[in-house]
Homo-oligomer: A and B are copies of this chain.
Amino acid sequence: MIEKVAIVGTGLIGGSIGLALRRAGFGGEIIGIDGSQIEASTALSVGAISRIGGFDDATSADVVVLAVPVMGILDWMQRMAQVAGPHQLITDVGSTKLAICEAAQTDYNGEGQARFLPGHPMAGKESGGAALAEASLFDGATWLFTPVAEETPLEGAWRGWVAKFGARTMDLDAARHDQICAWVSHLPQMVATAMAAMFEDEFAAEPELAADFRAIGGRALREMTRLGASPYSMWRDVAFTNTKPLAATLFALEQRLAHVRENLKTPELREEFSKANAFRKER
């Protein structure tokens, strides 16, 4: 049923989808489309795509996977809507879903229009690029869908491939997706970025601090700032399309940190540790 897949954006996620398709036994064509010739060539050289293609390939593929940052997905959705046909399934891997679902409801899934299935694999690394792509990236990960229309056989076939990637699929409402992702993904990212940026400013103010940090900082520091390496290009679009939920979680954490700060010497601190211990036990 699916013989030609076009992957728009052959970076870490797009490249890993190509590799996962191959590992799962997909025998058809995998076309890679990327604004960067270097990224596309890397994806080709690691075997994530069969060949490098262009816009025409996207309009002739059975499935088009939009694997670029959210604003890029919205642009591609608009371009594709003009030319894609009802036999085509367009899907995406964007980190926020409400803006994408709104666009999908206008331009897709209607009479004579291409199908659109919004998706979001909860997998990634702090650095991007096809060179880091892995066939096993989605093993054991949750692949979220926020469907906006009844499922078609072509969608069912795509969901089947996703399951063969080793991912668990889960459907949920787009607004709830964005709310929960603000808590579990976007807030942790912004905290790691803020903490790493703050340390960088401290280094600028006192250069020899950098050496002491390197010598003394252990796993806690590494772990809490690892996501600081994440690219702005992707997170700008998350911040732009999930502003309110993200701002609310940030504000809540600011208040929580102030509460901890004001209670460093009171029994309230015991309460915070006890709640945090309980959260970790449940996981």
Which A positions have Cβ atoms within 8 angstroms of B?
A: 122-123, 126, 141-142, 144, 168, 170, 172, 176, 180-181, 183-185, 187-203, 209-210, 212-218, 220-232, 235-236, 239-240, 243, 246-247, 250-254, 256-261, 264-265, 269-283
By Cβ-Cβ distance, the 3 closest A-B pairs, closest first, are A228-B276, A196-B276, A232-B273
Distance, CA A256 to CA B199, complexed state (A): 11
Q: Can you name 23 A-B pairs with beta carbons within 8 Å?
A: A122-B216, A123-B218, A144-B216, A170-B215, A180-B213, A183-B202, A188-B224, A190-B257, A193-B273, A194-B276, A196-B277, A200-B276, A203-B282, A217-B283, A223-B223, A228-B279, A230-B276, A232-B270, A232-B274, A239-B265, A239-B269, A247-B261, A257-B257
Specify which chain B residues have a CB less than 8 angstroms from the CB of A265 in the assembled complex. Answer: 239-240, 243
- The answer to whether A180 touches B216, judged by C-beta atoms less than 8 angstroms apart, is yes
The verdict on A190 contacting B260 (CB below 8 Å), with A218-B185, A224-B224, A254-B254 known, is yes
Distance, CA A195 to CA B272, complexed state (A): 10
Specify which chain B residues have a CB less than 8 angstroms from the CB of A278 in the assembled complex. Answer: 200
Distance, CA A188 to CA B227, complexed state (A): 14
Task: Please report whether the interface of chain A is mostly helix, strand, loop or mixed according to DSSP.
Answer: helix
The verdict on A184 contacting B279 (CB below 8 Å), with A239-B264, A265-B239, A273-B231 known, is no
The verdict on A199 contacting B183 (CB below 8 Å), with A188-B221, A254-B258, A260-B193 known, is yes
